[in-house]
Amino acid sequence: MSEIWTRGTWTVIPGREDEFVEAWTRMSDWTVAAFPSARGRLLRDVERPHVFISFGPWPDRETALRWRGSSEFQEHLAAIRATLHSFEPLMMEPVVERP
C-alpha cells in the first residue's frame, strides 16, 4: 500500500464563494471525524476568486475510495455541487518528492 493524494478543482458560481467554503468546511469536518488520518487544504485562486483547489494525503487508495464511496461523502458533495459550475476530482500517487 502506498500513499495517495486526492485533489479537486472547484469552479464556483460567482457570488456563492462563501456558501461553497462553508459547505466544503462541513465536509472537511466530517471527513476528519470519520477518517482521523485525513488531512486537507483548500486554496483559492487569487486571480480568479471563484476557483478553488483542495488536496490532501491518504494512507492508501483503499481508504480514499472508502471515503469517496461513503453515503456521507455523497451527501456533502451534493450540497457543495449546488454552488458549482464544475468539479474535477483526481486521485494521484507520488512520483518524486524533494525536501
Q: Tell me if the pTM is above 0.85.
A: yes
- Residue 32: closest CA among 58, 4, 5: 58
pLDDT confidence of 2, banded at 50, 70, 90? confident
User: Check: CATH 3.30.70.100 for 4-92?
Assistant: yes
Tell me the domain boundaries of the chain: 4-92
Report CA Rg, the chain: 14
Pairing, β 4-12 against β 41-44: unpaired
Q: Is the pLDDT at 56 greater than 90, yes or no?
A: yes
pLDDT at position 97, please?
Answer: 87
